[in-house]
Amino acid sequence: MLQIDKRLLKNFDIYLTSIVAIILLYGWFAVYSASYDPTESRFNSFYIKQLYWLIIGSSFYIFFSFFNYKHLIKWSVILYLMGILMLILVLAIGHIGMGAQRWINIGGFKFQPSEFFKVIFILIMPKIYNDFEPVPLGLVDVVKKFFLVIPPFLLVFLQPDLGTAMVFLAVWGMLLLFRGIRIRTLLIFVVLGIFIAPVVWSKLHDYQKDRILTFISPERDPYGAGYHLIQSKIAVGSGGLLGKGFMKGTQSHLKFLPERHTDFIFSLINEEFGLMGGLFMVVLFGALIFRICYIAMKTKELSGKIVALAVASIVFFQFFVNSGMTLGLLPVVGIPMPLVSYGGSALVTFMTLLGIVNSISIRKFDSPGDNR
């Protein structure tokens, strides 16, 4: 199953690994800075815990790099069913925190199943899009390919976690565009989305509605729903071109900026490292997405191509949404920045996904039937 031979070592993707390593290091220094509390002259334990998770995540990256991804795809249906059961279990006995039921406690260890389900969701994509043909999909074909998206979307939406639920839709939708869809079918879904929007709005929680309304006009509630967005934009703007310096961000360290180590880590980066620091992060993620797409283009095996494109889609979507919300370009949703935001479940999830991409890169010249 797991073979480390000269062929695998020779094809190990140094470019992908180097980009990931730089992003991880950049992100860890940002979490380290966010951990400092100048009012009490001490550090919180965020950066230490993140270092532990970084080591664990790196181990997952190396393991799944050498593990043949084809075996994972072979068992993806069983993994999917197990993942759905885990999401149901969350709603039944999950830990409740900050108004949401998203975690499971096992022996004092708390983890978020919806994060790990992202890996399963990516692995099930080759089962959904197993017909990459030049003929665009019609309405009936698209509906058939949507069935496996409904259970995880609804179960995560009910936690409630709209951000992660939207990730599933986004990955499926971007692969749909890669696969090809008839213009008439696309227009039907656009019109259908317009009619469904009021129903979805009525099902949203009050705080979710406030986030959308606040995005349109943050000043309507500057000390409530609009506080996060206003403080984030102040932090980003005050950084200027080169920033205030490492660990010198006033908005971040004087606690004006909420969730500075998780959802708003990009705001801290822009405040302390300025526009140039923010652009550097954009360039890094651009290089990462480009490398993943390059691997997808080069691999001969269809399922590997689909998985790589799906990973590129999820990295792009989460980075785009997280950075967009911190800059006030998108509504505030609970989507962390991949590899950068504090959080063990998310970090291990993305390191696993990127390890699978490296596995695809290592075997990109294999014939479809080669399972070494």
Instruction: Count other Cβ atoms within 10 Å, centred on residue 112.
Output: 21
Count of domains observed in the chain: 1
Average pLDDT, the chain: 86
Q: Which residue has the higher pLDDT, 5 or 360?
A: 360
Residue 237 is assigned to a structural domain of this protein: yes
CA pair distance 371, 72, nearest whole angstrom? 11
Q: pLDDT confidence of 1, banded at 50, 70, 90?
A: very low
List of long-range contacts for 252-261, beta carbons under 8 Å, 24+ apart:
252/33, 252/34, 253/36, 253/37, 253/38, 254/38, 254/39, 255/39, 256/231, 257/231, 257/232, 258/227, 258/228, 258/231, 259/228, 260/34, 261/31, 261/34, 261/35, 261/46, 261/341, 261/342
So what's the pLDDT on residue 23?
Answer: 97
Residue 130 is assigned to a structural domain of this protein: no
Q: Is 243 helix (H, G, I), strand (E, B) or coil?
A: coil
Residue 77 is assigned to a structural domain of this protein: yes
Mean of the pLDDT values across residues 28-37?
89
> Is the pLDDT assigned to residue 3 strictly greater than 70?
no
CA pair distance 320, 106, nearest whole angstrom? 33
Mean of the pLDDT values across residues 297-304?
90
- Computed on alpha carbons and rounded to an integer, the radius of gyration of the chain in Å comes to 21
What tokens appear for 90 in the block? 């969350």
Q: 90 near 120, Cβ under 8 Å? A: no
> Is the pLDDT assigned to residue 17 strictly greater than 80?
yes
So what's the pLDDT on residue 100?
Answer: 67
What number of CA atoms fall less than 13 Å from residue 210's CA on the CB side? 14
pLDDT, tens digit (0-9, with 9 covering 90-100), for 148-207: 999 999 999 888 788 889 999 999 999 998 888 888 988 988 898 888 878 877 777 776
Residue 308 is assigned to a structural domain of this protein: yes
Residue 141 is assigned to a structural domain of this protein: no
Domain enclosing residue 56, as ranges: 6-124+201-362
Q: Which residue has the higher pLDDT, 39 or 143?
A: 143
Q: Is 96 helix (H, G, I), strand (E, B) or coil?
A: strand
Residue 140 is assigned to a structural domain of this protein: no
So what's the pLDDT on residue 252?
Answer: 79
Contacts for 81 with CB less than 8 Å, ≥ 6 apart: none
pLDDT, tens digit (0-9, with 9 covering 90-100), for 221-248: 666 657 778 888 888 888 889 989 888 8
> Is the pLDDT assigned to residue 356 strictly greater than 90?
yes
Residue 295 is assigned to a structural domain of this protein: yes
Residue 220 is assigned to a structural domain of this protein: yes
Percent of the chain with pLDDT over 90: 48
Instruction: Count other Cβ atoms within 10 Å, centred on residue 272.
Output: 26
Mean of the pLDDT values across residues 1-21?
80
Q: pLDDT confidence of 257, banded at 50, 70, 90?
A: confident
pLDDT, tens digit (0-9, with 9 covering 90-100), for 67-106: 999 999 999 999 999 999 999 988 888 767 666 677 787 7
So what's the pLDDT on residue 219?
Answer: 60
